[in-house]
Structure formats: C-alpha cells, structure tokens
Amino acid sequence: MAKTQLADFNTSLSEWFNDVVLKAELADYAPVKGCMVIRPYGYALWESIQQFMDKLIKERGVKNAYFPLFIPMHFLEKEKEHVAGFAPELAVVTIGGGEELTEKLAVRPTSETIMYEMYKKWTSSWRDLPILVNQWCNIVRWEKRTYLFLRTSEFLWQEGHCAHATHEENMDTVMWALNMYEQTYNEHLAIYGIKGKKSNSEKFAGAGDTYTFESLMPNGKSLQSCTSHDLGQNFSKSFDWSVQGKNSEKVYPHQNSWGFSTRSIGGLIMTHGDVNGLVLPPSVAPTQVVIVPIPAHEKASIKAKEISQELKASFRVEVDEREGESAGFKFNKWELKGVPLRIEIGDRDVDGGTVIICRRDTSEKITVPFDKISSIITKLAKEIQTGLLEKHKKFTLDHTFKVDTYDEFKKVMETSRGFISAHWCENPECEAKIKTETLATTRCLPLDAPEEEGNCVGCGGVSTHRWLFGLSY
C-alpha cells in the first residue's frame, strides 16, 4: 500500500502520474489551458538532461545558437506537408505594439523554416557546408487538454538542424543524433527502448524519413521519446536554397533535424515509478543521497553533517533537519521524491558507529559502519543505475509479443498490452485498418529487424520485415 496518498500505480497509472507530478512538486497546471509550470524539482531534472546532452552535442562539433520565436506565416507555407502538419496546432500573434499586424506571426512549433531562410542567406558555396546548429528553446503546439510533461501546449526542447552537401553525410548526422539520444536514455535516465524508422503515416510533416526511440511504459503504452529526421532536400528545394558545388554545379543541401523534449521527464517518471512515488536513477537525481538525523538535532545531526560533508565531494547530498516533522513523514516525503539513497542516523547509531542505508528502488536496508559509508554509497549508486536499466529492458522484452496472425494480434491488444512484433505489408490502408480495429499503431521498423519472409497480419500480403506495433501516448 502506498505510504503517500497516490492513486494506485498498477491500476490507475494516469491518475498516479498526475498525483506524483503535483505532490513531488515537479510541475503544476498553469492558468492558461494546455500550459504547465515546471517547478524547481522538475526543472532540475531538465537541467541535468541538458547538461548530459549538451556535452555530447558539442563534442560532435554542433554549435548552439538562438533563432526567433516568431515565424512569418508565409515561411511555414513554403513546404506543403510541413504547414499541413502544423497549421492546426499553431498559436498566432496578430497584435504587436498595440497594432494589428499586416502579416500574422506563428509562435514557433519547430524552427525548420526560420532557420533555413537564414542558412540560405549565410551560404554560397560547398565550403560553407556542413552547417551544424542546435538550439535549446521553448516551442508551442496548441493543446486543449494538458497532460503534464507528456502533452502541453508549450514545452522545452532542443532542436538540432544540420545541413550537408551529400545524402551520406546527412544520414551520418541523423544516425549520430539517434544514437546520442539512446545514450542519454540508457546511461542517464536508465530507460531502455527500440530504435527504428517510422512508417510514412507516422513520420514528421515534411521529412523523408523519421527515426525514433520508442520506450514501453508500465501500462504497455509506447512513448515516442525523441525523433531524428532525414529531411532530404525537401526543404532546400522548397526554399530554393542551393550552393555552388566543387565543380560549380548547383547543390541543394541535404538537411536533418532532431529533437528531444521535456516529454522525456514524463517517460522518466512512469518508467521507474512505484506505489510510493518517483524512483530516480542516481545519474539524473537532483538529490542522490538524503541524510535524516533522528532526532533532527544534537548528536545525530552533527554526525549527519559530517557524513554529508564527506559525501559531497562525489554526490549531491541533502541533510533533512527540518523540525516539526516526524522521521516517518520525512521518509515518505523523500521516497515520493524518488531520492535513490537514504541514510538514517539516530543518536544510538552515533554511539554504535553505524548508520542505516536504505535503497529507494528495492527498499533494502543495510547497517553500515561510518568508515564504509562512502564506498557503500558509491557501490549502491552504480547498482541502482544499472539495475533500473536492466529492469526496464527485461520489462520491455517480457512485454514484446511476436505474433503471426491477426487473431493473436488482437488477443494481445485485449489481454496483455505491450509491443507487438508482427509482419506488415507497408500499405497505409492496411495500417489504418489495424489502427481502427485494434487501436494499435505502427511504432517503428526496428533498425536491427532482420529480413524475414512473412505475411502481413492485416491483409496476408507479402512482408519482408517485422514491425513493432502498440498503443501510443
């Protein structure tokens, strides 16, 4: 049973999710429908993700920049599929400085169009390529209902936008970005997932191909956790952007874009959570170790500070000395907030020269002598980090169902929920039929899917690969 008043994790994940986000003070509903406030504890998670990824992005030679929030409407209209995809989601500024504007401005839903207009201005020759640019910013895609972190009108993200002289170089960046995202999910957030290519109906508006990292949530739904798009020459041609090639020929640059947003925090919360609240991997946890002296003063408190001082060289540590709250209340609070390791120290422990260390992920408690605290914490932090990833990988594999018939497919959708690995003919009509009848959509063609002869579960037609299907967020 939950120690804090949370909806049941196993039967009411959505309600549990909202409870945890609000009660752990990760975020709150904003006064404007569809918008959210990211509170300091939630924002610290985003800062940690930014720090991890920004280093990888810079190591690749991609540089950060900042492009304007406002995009003239006619820019968005240059690439037909792009505007068709985004028009219904736009927030539009019609008044500026007290006057009606002659051209309405879209609040950026993504920045391809405004960036490419500038890239065109800045380049004339193949020597000016590649362009390797990223930006961290806010974007707006109108939503009527708010689903904190997972679906909000405004969210934070990074968007990388590179341009290359050749398809090969372009694909190299597309795949680097996808792998960089996988590394962030695996190593930092301890989240497992499947890298793959989206079907035509599920790809980004204006992309040649969209690549995704799909992660399975505890309720068997799939979360599209980031995307990397090969835009081909769609945008450079729409924007009439060409440069002079090595042999004076006209070269339309090949482009890509890749984005990773605060949605990832929604995935993080669900993936590792349990009946008592958040469970954070140590790598991303704003507080990795909390020390609770009992009582919160005198001997135990002095020792708590000593231990904190020692651990601070390697860990993010907090001592909870707040008066007027019981030890039990504090334990629940820090469990709700998902702090990976808790050290309990009482006056008697000080005399005995030991503390109790409690793991958030397994609830395991051990008694540890003073001189071993630092080494045990180091060992446990590593175990938790790798353990959470392994656990999520096992959960994903255990909930991936290989089926060969439509009956089996439907049965999984009705009973088990998870990823379904099935043959599909790649015909969009067949994909639409399966979606209508089962609610399952194609999640991706896994990059490592072997060639395999088979029959489409939908129509029995020829299929060469198994696709992943599932319910999506």
Q: Which stretches of the chain bind a second copy, using CB under 8 A?
A: 28, 30-32, 35-40, 43-44, 46-47, 63-72, 75, 87-98, 104-105, 107, 114, 117-118, 121-122, 133, 137-138, 140, 142-144, 153-154, 156
Q: How far is the CB of 352 from a second copy (least distance, A)?
A: 34
Minimum CB distance to a second copy smaller for 38 or for 388: 38
CA 79 – CA 49 distance, rounded (Å): 32
Q: How far is the CB of 369 from a second copy (least distance, A)?
A: 33
Q: How far is the CB of 59 from a second copy (least distance, A)?
A: 14
For the record, the structure tokens of 319 come out as 């001592």
Q: Strand, helix or coil at 229?
A: strand
Q: How far is the CB of 306 from a second copy (least distance, A)?
A: 22
Q: Strand, helix or coil at 268?
A: helix
Q: How far is the CB of 388 from a second copy (least distance, A)?
A: 25
CA 72 – CA 113 distance, rounded (Å): 9
Minimum CB distance to a second copy smaller for 118 or for 275: 118
CA 47 to chain centre: 13
Minimum CB distance to a second copy smaller for 99 or for 414: 99
Minimum CB distance to a second copy smaller for 77 or for 347: 77
Q: How far is the CB of 72 from a second copy (least distance, A)?
A: 6
CA 244 – CA 171 distance, rounded (Å): 21
Q: Strand, helix or coil at 34?
A: coil
Q: In 211-326, which ranges are continuous DSSP H helix?
A: 234-238, 263-272, 298-311
Minimum CB distance to a second copy smaller for 62 or for 445: 62
Q: How far is the CB of 207 from a second copy (least distance, A)?
A: 23
Neighbours of 377 (CB within 10 A): 24
Strand segments (E) across 98-183 = 99-107, 131-140, 154-164
Contact between 418 and 443 under an 8 Å Cβ cutoff? The reply is no
Tell me the residue length of the chain.
473
Minimum CB distance to a second copy smaller for 64 or for 367: 64
Q: How far is the CB of 298 from a second copy (least distance, A)?
A: 22
Minimum CB distance to a second copy smaller for 89 or for 298: 89
Amino acid at 158: Q
Neighbours of 262 (CB within 10 A): 23
The β-bridge relationship of strands 466-472 and 221-232 is: parallel
Minimum CB distance to a second copy smaller for 98 or for 450: 98
Contact between 426 and 461 under an 8 Å Cβ cutoff? The reply is no
Q: How far is the CB of 376 from a second copy (least distance, A)?
A: 28
Contact between 34 and 146 under an 8 Å Cβ cutoff? The reply is yes
Minimum CB distance to a second copy smaller for 72 or for 295: 72
Q: What is the DSSP string of 332-397?
A: HHHHHTT-SEEEEEEHHHHHHTEEEEEETTT--EEEEEGGGHHHHHHHHHHHHHHHHHHHHHHHHH
Give the CA distances from residue 95 to residues 70, 101, 140, 257, in Å, rounded to whole numbers and listed in that order. 12, 6, 18, 31
Q: How far is the CB of 289 from a second copy (least distance, A)?
A: 18
User: Which are the contacts of 84, defined by CB distance < 8 A and separation ≥ 6?
Assistant: 205
CA 237 – CA 223 distance, rounded (Å): 32
Q: How far is the CB of 200 from a second copy (least distance, A)?
A: 25
The β-bridge relationship of strands 354-359 and 154-164 is: unpaired
Minimum CB distance to a second copy smaller for 139 or for 412: 139
Minimum CB distance to a second copy smaller for 99 or for 371: 99
CA 373 – CA 340 distance, rounded (Å): 15
Q: How far is the CB of 121 from a second copy (least distance, A)?
A: 7
Minimum CB distance to a second copy smaller for 142 or for 147: 142
Q: Is the peptide bond before 281 cis (omega within 30 degrees of 0)?
A: no
